[in-house]
Structure formats: structure tokens, C-alpha cells
Structure 1
Amino acid sequence: MNQQKKRYLMYIAQNYSYAILRPLQALIRSKGGDVCWFLEGEEVSGKFLAKDENHLANIADVIAWQPDVVFVPGNVVPNFIPGLKVAVFHGFNSGKLNRKGREDHFEIRGCFDLFCTQGPDTTERFEHLAQQYKFFNVKQTGWPMLDPLFHPQIENPYINEKDDRATVLMCSTFSRNLTCAPHLFEHIKTLSQTGRWRWLVQFHPKMDPQIVEMYKGLESENLTFIETDNVIPVLQAADVMLCDTSSVLLMHLLQRKPVVTFKNQSPKPHLINITDAGDVESALEIALSRPESLMAEIEAYCQLIHPYTDGCSSLRVFDAANEMVSIGYQGLKPKPYNWLRQYKMRKKLGYWKF
């Protein structure tokens, strides 16, 4: 099949996945490829689809469309749909452990033919796993979502040119054991009321609605609560981030901007980690001063997790997928069928044809 006529499916289950795959969609379209989206489950909304984005309503439509490549920013994808299954990840490795006590980022579920990794730290681990399992390939490409991060936004709604105060972005994960949001609320309330800094607050879409409402109640000329499917402009608008163990902090670091964390699960020298909520203000002051030693640690860490700043990761993912489509599955074992997982996915998607 002519490369320019290939069909590429964007298989997503969360609203934040739109922003992960849209730079890749733009690249594919520029190369003449066809793109369609499939939305799995109730946690992703079709209201975020743009007017010019093609949507396949059900798995039967997906199978009839016969995609050549399926890009997935999640953990699983059905093996009963056509196409090369490509994992592009929904975030960076932040060290989170799953219920089995294993690092979730490196869990092999037998769903993918190709893992497009973000940087040397994860590439090495996945290459070892590829040698162990022998049913998938690994290619270091960088992360498509970050392509726009390295291209300034022409119009950024979160930047106020008339306000010369430093901008603090607070982000938090939804996990009860890891979130900083309820623990820092009173301190952020007090700090925002002083007007010393401009605050932007943006949470994981699964955040407890009660916590969301608490922070929405703080909105003022000093604090803006943001709900969005694209965090890139928010990151670009901030000078420093206040966070916990959410992987979004890594995206902020990649701009060479400091991050203050509260009880981070894996504190490292590239972070300013605090364990006492009362230390938020002093930690932010240090971060905003950008000490030389901290900035050197940030630079070294960025080279490890995502060395690319050219905004061309989508192109590398595109090329890696097409190369594997061209050469096929040479040297690879068949993926495990995973009867139980595939049964659950058929049940969830309401598809029983074989």
C-alpha cells in the first residue's frame, strides 16, 4: 500500500489523550495519510473532537475501516482490531507503583507491537523487556505531545502581558495517597490572597469533584482555575510549578523551569521537595530564584528523560511505525492472546464477532 494512503487510528480513553495525539495527527495529514479517532469508554468525551476530525462510532466501524496503524496513549488496546499497535504513552515514568507493586510505566500487558519511548531512561528498560518477551519492538522517538511545547504559542490565553508578577502553576494527581491538593489548600488560599504571585490551578481530570469545587472557590484576580484537554499552553504560561508525584511535573521541567513538590514519592536533586505544607512559600521563592546548582540538575535530568527539543517527535513516531509496517514482524514471536483481558474488552465494547 502506498504510504500516503495508509490509515492511522487514534485509540483513546481519556480526554487528555487528544493533546497527546493531535501533533501526530497534524504530521500524518501533512504526509497525506488518513486519520480517524475511536473513543473507548465513558471517561472520554466526543465534545472535544474538532469539526475536521473523523470519528468512528464503534469497533465494528473500526474493523471495517481497516487501519494500518493504531496509536494508543493508554495501557491496553484490543487485539481483534487490525493494524500495528503502537504505544505512545499517556505520560512520563513518575515511579508510580500499580496494585501488584510494580512500576506501572513498564508493565507489559501483551497488547503492543511497538513501544515509542521518550528518552534514554525508559528506552533502556523497554529494550531489556523486548529481549525478555520477544514479541514487540522498541524505538526511541520522543513524545508527540511535547512537539508544541517547543514551539511558542502565538496566542496563549493563560499569559497576561499586563501582569508582571511571577506565575505559579499548581497541578496535582487524583490519587488519594499522592495528591497534594487537600493538604495545601489553606496555604494556597492564604498565598493567593496576598497577591504576591499570579496562580494557575489545573488538576488531573479524575480529581475528586469536592476538591475541584474547593479550589474553584478560590478564584480571584490572583488565582485562575483551569479545566482543559490541553495543558501545554498552561505549562508555557508558568514560571514555576507546585506539584506532588504527577507526571505532568516532568513536562514542566522539560522547559527548564523549576518544580516544587510536596511529599514526592521519589524526590531527586532536580526537584525542590518539601514535606511540610508550611514550607510552600519559601520553596517557591527558591525555585523562582533559579539557583545554578538546581538548574544544572534539571538540565541533566531532561537529557535523560527526553533529550529532544526540536519539536519533531511526531515525525520520529510516524517513521518508526511506518518502518515496522514495511518490514513486518520479522524476528518477533506472536503476542500472547490474553484470553481474559480480550474477553473483558469485547464485553466492554460490545463486540462478539470472530
Structure 2
Amino acid sequence: MLTKLLPLVALLALLTACSSAAPGDGADAPEGAAGGPFPVQVEHTFGTTEIPERPQRVVALGVTDADPVLALGVTPVATASYTFYEQTGGLGPWARGLVQGEPPVVLTGEPNLEQIAALAPDVILAVSSGIEQPMYEQLSAIAPVVARPAGTIPFGVTRDDQMRTVATALGEPERGEELIRQADAAFTDAVEAHPQFRGKVGATVLPFDGKYGAFTAADARGRFMSGLGFVQPPRIAELDDGESFFVEISAEQTGLLDGDTLVMLADEGSAKAQVDGDAVLAQVPVVAQGRMVVPDADTRGAMTYNSVLSAPYALERLVPQLDAALSRAGS
């Protein structure tokens, strides 16, 4: 099932942007970073990586790994391109203002070993990535590599685990925990302000190739909604085998997406065309009764990243839309 994800998330998770930027020195150490806990050891799915000294030159190879790095006051020397923000090196509007000094080099496509080696990194962070053992070993010949935690699927690391792993690698575990608390508190505050969200049924879907991908709790977008108290439609939950982070729904099955609300991850024009062109979807009560939410591009991006930086940004923009949708249902 996982291999089917790549066509689905070509818009969301492939490294496709281009850059002609030259290698820079953008990875300044955070204030107060002298000394610290080094050397540190970081456990991950491929074993344990030792980082002998506080990294100064950080390559953020995971598609959203630049966010926790920047949140710690470090500007990476390179970031992975993400289709959402291919013109800005994968950096969303919540993160761009944190870049200091030279902007990061943008890495596109499959990891280019020569390009990465030329950056002379002290550490390569591949937490939110899909690298496997052979690539891990090749990258490890360049610098210490920190991959996704054991037991997680590619691109399936939670916000807290991502932040905690990156903070450990950069010698800032206490600051990492503080950032986790702040992001978690943003969700707590949103739920306390909108208790009607708890237990409401709301799928989050991406249309593709005449079908739909309903994101599960293994995906950042699914976790974003569950963090607000929403639950999956029962049949979607039953179809989740835990092996992927979406459940594929055919056009004929769109009735399974019914609930109190439905978050459609497409631009407004595309979402309207999707409904207009899908007679079955148009008749599903959550759509027919106007309870479908269509977030704008930056909100979709912030949900997809679901990092300590992007989550508060997405909450501010999406929560009012969800509140309005539930109000239309008289909830």
C-alpha cells in the first residue's frame, strides 16, 4: 500500500523544487550553545548514531525537518525541497523569518551524495524522510545521519517525536521539550475554546486520479484533526490497516467520508470541480449540506507539516472554518 503513496502525495511529499543557490554558512549555533551534552547518541530505525560535537552545519534532509531545526535557532545549510513551497526551499511562511545569514541550499529529487558531501555537514537529519538502509549507509559515509525513530513509517513521524529527535541531535533537549509543550498547548487551548469538536466525525482527504486518500493517524494531517478532538468516520477507521498513512477511497465509496465535517485538501477551484464532477460525492450529506471545509494553500501546507512551528499557524486559520462548518449542522 505504501508504494501507492508516491502518486498520491506528489503534491505533498516529493522533493521536486529546483535551486541554483551556492553552499552557505547558514547554520549558526544557537545562543548559549557552548559546551553542552556532547557527544550524544540518537537511536533510530537503522541503529544508533553518535554525534561527537555540537553540529554547526546541519543538512535538513527530511521534508519538514527544517522546521524543528529553525525553531531551535539554527539555520540549516541545506533543506529538502517540498512541492508546497518549492520556491522557498520547502520553508512555509511560519518558518521563513527564522532564517539567519545565507539561505539554505535547496536539495531536490533523490539525495545527491556529491552535493551533500560538498556542503561539509556535521550532521544529516533524515527524520521526516523515506530513506532506507542503503541510502542511510551512503549518507553515513559523509556525516552522522539521524533517521526516523524505530517503529515509524516513512514520512510518518509525529510532531513531538520529530522535535525531540532533532533537539537531541542538536544538543537542545530542554528547548525541544519547551517547544513541544507550546505546540501541544495550542491544541489544548483550541479544544477548550471549542469543546464541540470533541468526538465529532471528520475525515481529511486529498483527491487524486479520480479517487480520494483519507489520511489516518499515521499521517500529520490525520493527527492534526485528532489533536482537535475529531475522529475518523467508522468505516475509514476499519479500513486502516496501519501499513500506510492513508486509506484509498474510490469515487463510488465516497459515502464512507460522511460525518460532521469533511476537510478537502485542494484549492477552492479544484474542490468545486471535484464536487461538480463527482455526482456521488455531491450527494454525501456532509457535502450536500455545506459542511465541507476547503483550507487555503498555506493552511494545507501547515497541516501537512504539523511541526512545532506550523501547527499554531494552521490552528489559527483552520479552527474558525471547522467551527463554522459544525455550526451549519446545528452542532
Which TM-score bucket, shorter chain as reference? 0.3 to 0.5
TM-score by length of 2: 0.37
**Bigger Cα Rg:** 1
| Structure with the larger RCO, 1 or 2 (CA within 8 Å, 6+ apart) | 1
TM-score by length of 1: 0.35
